[in-house]
């Protein structure tokens, strides 16, 4: 734990994140240790709500024992005997460095400029204002496996198990659970939704909000390489090299001196830093041979096939949100993912926004997401006729009623004042 007045240590150097001897013999979701921490907006403005970090046992891509952390917030004004809903919120970590892990980036005095999790604290506070408990897992595990399949789902689901297993939280297994994430966080949320029925069916997950959940990372790589956001696909390659040793071998054999140096630097960059420094960078310039030749290798194609969503049916209703004019995630890929889920029997409500782009749609769709989660927690019936909406959030009056409340919550976070229970979703009808 950080010294009073000192900075928190990065997860790789913090003894808290080292699992105790013998942890691999415990069940997934077992709490290994815990501590209270202070969160701060942008690492600078301390928040008044109490946060507890829990280190817990989970599994990696190959179902080998692993440990990671989740940061749990519980409402301070819970009524006696109240069944508190729980939301696992997956931040858009989109990086390998521990500086972007929520367990570090959300803490006071964290040096995490360029981490998206620091901004997403505004939406996390909105969940807390709903009166819900919030779990914020390091869904990339201790190695930041951005883009890897299965492991993020393990981390999310076992993080919920750990929150329920930690008696001081007083959370009930009967409480309704929701999962929510956007972009890279939406990808991790989708893995959790797909794996729920086979990996953690005892969890009472009643809804999943998949905001721009990538869908096909292989297509996204081709779409972004050499463009404005080219830092993101190269970051995915760095992360996947940890999960797939054969991919690491192939890339290292073909990388030139510039490429090796860039890949090494990326392992230490935050998301925003990578986007800014590698803007319009073509990965072909980092290799000794043709990029197309590398991408067509069977070993690389196997990785692209393995990391594609849509193999299993989420067992809970799903709200999917995607911008038509998205420069990062192809709307065609999300259209296909929605069709796959429906074909497998999942109830999908798909908001295909005709006006917004990738970044703007996340906050603009927050009132809709909160309302939809509230309806699932309240057990309201799903509208079988409302399976696809296209009316832009920017033209919906209810969006602005919700955004006004979200702005009030954000103002309290930015100024370090307390966030009281006042559901934003009540205003967005």
Give the catalytic positions in this structure.
183, 326, 358
State both tokens at 208.
Answer: 């999943």
First to last CA, the chain: 43
d(CA 148, CA 243): 7
Cα–Cα distance, 96 to 284 (Å, whole number): 21
Give every strand in the sheet of 205-211, ordered side by side: 31-37, 51-59, 65-73, 133-137, 86-90, 177-182, 205-211, 318-323, 348-353, 388-389
* Environment class of 346 (CB within 10 Å of its CB; exposed 0-12, middle 13-18, buried 19+): buried
Residue 173: which residues within 8 A CB-CB, separation 6 or more?
164, 202, 204
- Cβ-count burial of 265 within 10 angstroms (0-12 exposed, 13-18 middle, 19+ buried)? middle
Q: Please state, in angstroms and rounded to a whole number, the distance separating the CA atoms of residues 118 and 104.
A: 10
Residues 6+ away with beta carbon under 8 Å from 11? 17, 69, 98, 101, 103, 104, 138, 142
CA 88 – CA 387 distance, rounded (Å): 24
DSSP class of residue 12 equals T
Identify the sign of the CA torsion 68, 71, 74, 76: positive
Q: Which two tokens stand for residue 182?
A: 């956007």
Q: Are 284 and 291 in contact (CB under 8 A)?
A: yes
Q: Residue 331: which of 310, 309, 358, 307 has the closest Cα?
A: 358
């Amino acid at each position: 734990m950080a010294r009073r007045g000192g900075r928190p240590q990065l997860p790789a150097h913090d003894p808290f994140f080292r699992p105790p001897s013998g942890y691999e013999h415990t069940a997934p979701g077992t709490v290994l240790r815990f501590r209270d921490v202070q969160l701060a907006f942008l690492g600078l403005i301390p928040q008044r709500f109490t946060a507890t970090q829990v280190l817990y046992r989970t599994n990696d891509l190959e179902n080998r024992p692993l440990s990671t952390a989740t940061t749990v917030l519980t409402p301070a004004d819970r009524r006696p005997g109240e069944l508190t809903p729980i939301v696992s919120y997956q931040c858009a970590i989109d990086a390998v460095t521990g500086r972007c892990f929520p367990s570090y980036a959300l803490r006071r005095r964290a040096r995490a400029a360029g981490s998206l999790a620091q901004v997403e604290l505004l939406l996390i506070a909105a969940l807390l204002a709903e009166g819900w408990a919030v779990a914020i897992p390091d869904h990339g595990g201790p190695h930041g496996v951005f883009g890897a399949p299965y492991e993020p789902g393990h981390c999310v689901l076992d993080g919920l198990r750990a929150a329920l297993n930690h008696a001081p939280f007083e959370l009930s297994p009967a409480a309704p659970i929701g999962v929510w994430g956007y972009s890279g966080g939406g990808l991790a949320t989708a893995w959790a939704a797909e794996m729920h029925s086979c990996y953690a069916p005892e969890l009472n997950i009643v809804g999943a909000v998949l905001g721009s959940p990538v869908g096909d990372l292989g297509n996204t790589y081709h779409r972004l390489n050499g463009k404005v956001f080219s830092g993101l696909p190269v970051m995915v390659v760095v992360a996947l090299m940890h999960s797939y040793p054969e991919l690491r071998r192939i890339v290292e054999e073909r990388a030139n001196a510039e490429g090796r140096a860039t890949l090494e630097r990326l392992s230490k960059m935050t998301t925003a830093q990578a986007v800014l420094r590698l803007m319009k960078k073509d990965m072909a310039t980092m290799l000794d041979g043709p990029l197309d030749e590398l991408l067509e290798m069977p070993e690389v194609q196997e990785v692209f096939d393995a990391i594609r969503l849509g193999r299993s049916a989420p067992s809970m209703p799903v709200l999917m949100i995607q911008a038509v004019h998205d420069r990062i995630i192809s709307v065609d890929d999300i259209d296909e993912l929605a069709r796959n889920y429906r074909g497998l029997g999942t109830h999908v409500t798909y908001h295909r926004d005709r006006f917004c782009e990738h970044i703007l749609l996340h906050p603009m769709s927050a009132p809709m997401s909160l309302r939809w989660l509230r309806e699932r927690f309240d057990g309201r019936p799903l509208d079988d006729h409302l399976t696809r909406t296209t009316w832009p959030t920017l033209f919906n009056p209810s969006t602005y009623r919700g955004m006004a409340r979200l702005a009030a919550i954000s103002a309290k976070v930015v100024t370090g004042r307390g966030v009281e229970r006042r559901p934003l979703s009540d205003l967005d009808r």
